[in-house]
Amino acid sequence: MPFDHTTLTPGVLPDSLLRDMIGTGALSADPAITQAQVQPASLDLRLGTTAYRVRASFLAGQGRTVADRLDAFEMHRVDLSGGAVLEKGCVYVVPLMERLDLPAGIQAVANAKSSTGRLDLLTRTITDGGAEFDRIAPGYSGPLYAEICPRSFSVLVRPGMRLNQIRFRTGEARLDDAMLRNLHETDGLVSGPAHIDDGLGFSVDLKPERGTLVGYRAKPHTGVIDLDKIGHYDPAAYWEEVHSDDGQIILDPGAFYILVSREAVHIPPDYAAEMAPYLAMVGEFRVHYAGFFDPGFGHAHAGGTGSRGVLEVRCHEAPFVLEHGQIVGRLVYERMSKRPNVLYGSEIASNYQGQGLKLSKHFRS
């Protein structure tokens, strides 16, 4: 029996409905999808057994398949079965284990997982006929692929690793600014004043309560990172500390930084959020794409007291002075179709609940 979305309340689909989609074949995989992949408001996607090194990033485009494009752009194939290194600065396409058979009323959006973004590991989802990265049209039926470009560090990967995730929605889920203001009044979405303009603004913290450490900058020449090794690596071998005693830093072109938001954020249980870039006109930098925030992130009901957002920042063409309190990103809130059975930070292994300035889980504290 196909997945029936017609009676659903508009919104992001929670864990219980993701399981229904798995049961009806709207979501399928070989090998089968595991319970560990199902998150409160998304599904983790797994790497397959082969990586295709390609000459350039691409989209399939209308009427074409990713396999067709691989025939044109493939340089060589890498067998991931025993573990293989994806090299910094190269572009790879990896078929994922999961595939979709979506009803006409269900659309999807994909994003890199938090730990993926904190390694500056650009990971985007592409599909047959796709004209955008990470955006999957209603009714799509076909395979999924991950385009992976390590930007700062070469990484060791294996089949089954989960670098990106996918979220499904039906109908209009996004909150407009008036709805967001009302939600902030009742739930206190951020500590301090809320800057609401096409989403909830995120500003950068460059005046910490203690000390002068405000972030980290990726070193240009480092060793490989095995993505299976948790709490293993010495941060000093991969990162330079960034300090500020005057509330500002200068971003260098091409450099990648881990910073932290000034605000502590709450995601109420009936909502989800996604990090989006701020206006390009405010400076020559961009906050990294990684950014699904699950229901319960930083929320008291899920064991949180507000969690600050980690900012993955890359400077572009010119050096840029970043100052304390400058808005660098925004959170777009969406309503859930129904409340998840499990919230972020409660009953699941959530690495970043209650976080402050924090590197990815691969590094020692």
Residue-averaged pLDDT of the chain? 90
Q: Are 119 and 154 within one domain?
A: yes
pLDDT band at 329 (very low <50, low <70, confident <90, very high): confident
163/222 same-domain check: no
Q: Is the distance from CB of 338 to CB of 9 less than 8 angstroms?
A: yes
CA–CA gap between residue 245 and residue 207 (Å, rounded) = 7
Please compute Rg for the chain using Cα positions.
20
State pLDDT tens for residues 105-143. 999 999 999 889 999 999 999 999 999 999 999 999 999
> Does 141 lie in the same domain as 57?
yes
Q: Which domain holds residue 129?
A: 11-170
Residues 55 and 70 in one domain: yes
User: Are 20 and 158 part of one and the same domain?
Assistant: yes
pTM over 0.85: yes
- Assign residue 201 the CATH number of its domain: 2.70.40.10
Answer with the residue of higher pLDDT: 307 or 364. Answer: 364
Structure tokens at 117: 């973004």
The per-residue pLDDT for range 79-92, each reduced to its tens digit, is 999 999 999 999 99
Contact call for residues 216 and 258 (beta carbons, < 8 A): yes
List C-alpha distances in Å: 362 to 9, 227, 358. 39, 7, 11
pLDDT tens digit sequence for 218-268? 999 999 999 999 999 999 999 999 999 999 999 999 999 999 999 888 899
Residue 113 belongs to some domain of the structure: yes
- pLDDT value of residue 56: 96
CA distances from 77 to 27, 50, 52, 122, 306 (A): 27, 7, 5, 19, 44
40 vs 181, 260, 306, 351, CA distance in Å? 24, 24, 18, 14
Specify the pLDDT at position 305. 54
| pLDDT > 70? residue 346 | no
Residue predicted with more confidence, 64 or 346: 64
The DSSP code for 363 is B
